[in-house]
Amino acid sequence: MSGCVFYVLSQELTVKTKVTEKGKWERELEVEVPAERIEAAVARAVKDYQRRLEIPGFRKGKVPLTLVERRYGEAIRQSVISEKLPELMGEAAQTENLVPVAPPRITKLDYQPGQPLSFTATLDIWPEVQVESYDQLKAARLVHTVSDEEIDRQLHELRERHATEEQVDRPLEKGDVLIADLQRLDEAGLPIVGERYEERYFIIGSENVPSPQFEEVLLGIRAGEDRQVYFSYRDDLPDKELAGRQERFGVQARQVRQRTLPALDDEFAKTVGEPFQTLAELRQHLGQQLQRQWDYLARQRLRSDLVSELIKKNPFDLPASLVDNYLESLHRRDHDHQHHDHDHQHEHNHDHQHEHSEEERTFAMRRLKTFLLIEGLRKQTGIEVSDDEFETFLQRRAEEHSLDLETIKRSPRLDDLRQELLEDKVYDFLAQRAEFEEQAV
């Protein structure tokens, strides 16, 4: 019977640690690693290097270990220590029950061959917050009744999306579609190289267009006609660089299309979705959908008020490294999303430290304090989610999104959904004790 060898880290080979409290959340961690652990790792690295090493006069893998050690031993040792430091740091932090909020900072490192490795690191730990004064928090309860006008606007948007188009041989009118090529011009009216945009699609007369002036200048244009247009973008655009800016373009009309909206009747309701047989059913569905949106906004406002009150009644500071690490993670996430949508031209900026604004830091601190307070209150009150509660929650979520329950259970976000329900229960706990002021919206 072949034997199996199990390697067990003996008590003599575990790291020795000492923790010193340097601040409310800052800790200094002194670590000593037995020489045997480092030497064993170095020996393995030397042998691995020997197998790959080629030196004139020796076959590959046949260079004497003594020669490898003499020539490359110091470099190999430094490499082994650098590679093992994160592992040793994690082991030491776990030994002392420390949970770092960011990678620890090595402030001192001492090692001599055959001697224990010792190093000192400073780290910030996750704050543990004792939540107080969470009864009778003041919060607004938003109240809204969906009006017929809101439903009418939704129906109009649906009709716009289901409109048909037909190419026509006449001047462009309000409500038509224009297909055109655009060429950006300089102040002298000359084309700017690389600033040509072909087959652009415009619905003339749409609400909230970036520049009503641009559309007004184009009214009356026919297919095949060229025009130079001078216009300004609206001053209230969210894009501050674009808002109010003046532009010059050469416009070559390709097509004018007439848009026709479908009649608002039962037949239209049937084309929108399979469950609807009448316009009344569609209106009822839109009303319920709008009410859910308003209810969601009311819940978000309630939670925002409760959190604001909790933060005000439970002031505490956050480790700077926690805020920095959180902001950097958001920046990396945003960069990754943009990376999927754009070329690799900005990849060289990925590793550079991002400069965060005061607004970003304020946002991060509120998010982190919210998490710590809600999680702290959950632990204090013993709030948990039972399997039956989670099953009911998943069934409701499946019905809301017209999904199969088993599909949701196989989702990689299953743990996130459980956390969502857990937070819901904490907010419900707070809401049951809160003082509400109703606000009609």
Strand partners, 26: 124
User: Do the strands 138-143 and 105-110 form a parallel or antiparallel pair, or are they unpaired?
Assistant: unpaired
- Which pLDDT tens digit goes with each residue over 1-13? 333 333 334 445 7
User: What CATH number labels 11-124?
Assistant: 3.30.70.1050
Would you list the domain boundaries of the chain? 11-124, 164-260, 274-339+357-440
Tokens of 178: 């224009």
Give yes or no for a contact between 126 and 101, defined as CB atoms under 8 angstroms apart.
yes
The whole-number pLDDT of residue 336 equals: 66
Mean pLDDT computed over 201-213: 91
Between CA 184 and CA 332 the distance in angstroms is 34
38: exposed, middle or buried (C-beta count within 10 Å: 0-12, 13-18, 19+)?
A: buried
- Which pLDDT tens digit goes with each residue over 58-68? 888 888 888 98
> What CATH number does domain 274-339+357-440 carry, 1.10.3120.10, 3.40.50.740, 3.30.70.20, 3.30.70.60?
1.10.3120.10
- Which pLDDT tens digit goes with each residue over 383-412? 999 999 999 999 999 988 888 999 999 999
User: What CATH number labels 164-260?
Assistant: 3.10.50.40
The whole-number pLDDT of residue 69 equals: 87
More confident residue, 56 or 97: 97
- Which pLDDT tens digit goes with each residue over 307-350? 999 999 999 999 999 999 999 988 888 766 655 554 444 444 44
User: Do the strands 164-167 and 177-185 form a parallel or antiparallel pair, or are they unpaired?
Assistant: unpaired
Give yes or no for a contact between 373 and 310, defined as CB atoms under 8 angstroms apart.
yes
Between CA 401 and CA 29 the distance in angstroms is 49
Mean pLDDT computed over 44-57: 88
